[in-house]
Amino acid sequence: MHHNVKKSSSLNECLGNKIKLVKNFTDVNQINLPDNTLEKIYLTQSEILSNHNHRFILNNDLMELMKYCDFSLGDFCDCVTGIYTGNNKRFMAVTKENVRNAKGYPIISSEDIDQNHMSLDPLKNGKRYIPIVKSSSDVKYKRNNNPWLIDWTTEAIDYYHNDKKARFQNSQYYFKHGIAVPMVKSSVIKATEMNKMVFDQSIVGVFPRKEKYFNYVLGLINSDIGNKIIHLINPTANNSANYLKKIPFILPNESQLDKINQIVKKLKLNPIDADLQQRLDDTFDEIYYSYTPSKTEYLF
């Protein structure tokens, strides 16, 4: 069968062109069969053009949210990537053996680590390393342990500032209270609280401008709907600061904010509590799926 494609000079005709998208098939041959189990979605060219970055958004509820939400995460949070040493094998280390992706890195004893340093200035107490947030976490909310270290001597910091490959970027956010989101995306995003630490370029640091929204943002990124939105905004293998900024951000009312704050506080103490996580997911579903633009009670 041959299909002729005819070019049209009419903008209205072009914008009215329909595209059929088929979901839930397991074999490509199913597409042409009369199968009622397959979900078919029809989009016009104008709908695709009106979507943010011209995305194919296949969830109708999330499509409306992406189009019409009054705010995005970037309106209330700074999202930045961290330091790159320029030579990780030289300047980074670990505290123990069998750390994932740490082959070839030196193992450092506690005597050479300053756990309490919180300054951009180099160490001057004879110690060499400070902790750094790097790579993914095994759990959400609170990392069980943090085995990674970074050289924070005068020589090392000079190198970070002056080497062509190194990037001492966004240093005003080092040692701040923030949220660590791994750059490498997994099927389930695991965002964790970080405080008084440096973070490297494998992490997007999310820093709410108002502390009262900290647990709300941490919960949102770790929620089921937050996970869906992040994968919808960027279906590729990596998160990035710019993509996270685009997460639709619905400001909660006082009751919603307090409820989520209490749940997240408990999840920080017990990140694997499935019942608590379900309560959080249900609460965010209620907020996000019932959202009506410009009718939120804002808590500025």
Nearest Cα neighbor of 205 from 83, 101, 92 is 83
The domain of 193 spans: 73-289
Lowest mean pLDDT among 1-15, 119-133, 239-253: 1-15
The per-residue pLDDT for 240 is: 87
Q: Judge whether 298 lies within some domain.
A: no
Same domain, 42 and 81: no
- Name the pTM for this structure: 0.80
Q: Average pLDDT of the chain?
A: 87
**SS3 sequence of 12-69:** HHHHCCEEEEEECCCCHHHHHCCCCCCEEEEEEHHHHHHCHHHCCCCCHHHHHHHHHC
Residues 266 and 186 in one domain: yes
195 and 134: one domain? yes
Q: Looking at the domain assignment, is residue 55 inside a domain? A: no
Beta-carbon contacts of 26 under 8 Å, excluding residues fewer than 6 positions away, are: none
33 and 141 fall within a common domain: no
pLDDT at residue number 112: 98
Same domain, 213 and 280: yes
Q: What is the mean pLDDT of residues 170-191?
A: 94
CATH at residue 157: 3.90.220
41 and 123 part of one domain: no
- Whether residue 65 lies inside any domain: the answer is no
Distance CA(199)–CA(171), nearest Å, equals 10
pLDDT of residue 297: 44
- Domains of the chain: total: 2
For residue 16, being part of any structural domain is answered with: yes
pLDDT number for residue 28: 66
39 with 137, same domain? Answer: no
135 and 21 within one domain? no
Domain assignment present for residue 2? The answer is no
244 lies in some domain: yes
Give the span between the Cα atoms of 168 and 204, in whole angstroms: 14
Is the domain of 88 the same as that of 37? no
Rounded CA separation 146/7 (Å): 59
Same domain? 99 vs 152: yes
SS3 91: helix
Check whether residue 46 and residue 77 sit in a common domain.
no
Q: Which residue has the higher pLDDT, 231 or 72?
A: 72
Within a domain: residue 232? yes
What strands, in cross-sheet order, belong to the sheet with 178-182? 77-81, 203-208, 178-182, 192-194
Q: What pLDDT was estimated at residue 17?
A: 74
| Percentage of residues in the chain having pLDDT higher than 90 | 66
Asked whether 283 and 260 are in contact (CB, 8 A), the reply is: yes
Which has more confidence, 41 or 88?
88
The pair of structure tokens assigned to 259 is: 């409820």
**106 with 93: CB under 8 angstroms?**
yes
CA 163 to chain centre: 29
* DSSP structural state of residue 251: P
* Structural domain includes residue 3: no
Q: Which of 35-39, 56-60, 61-65 comes out lowest in average pLDDT?
A: 56-60
Residues 103 and 234 in one domain: yes
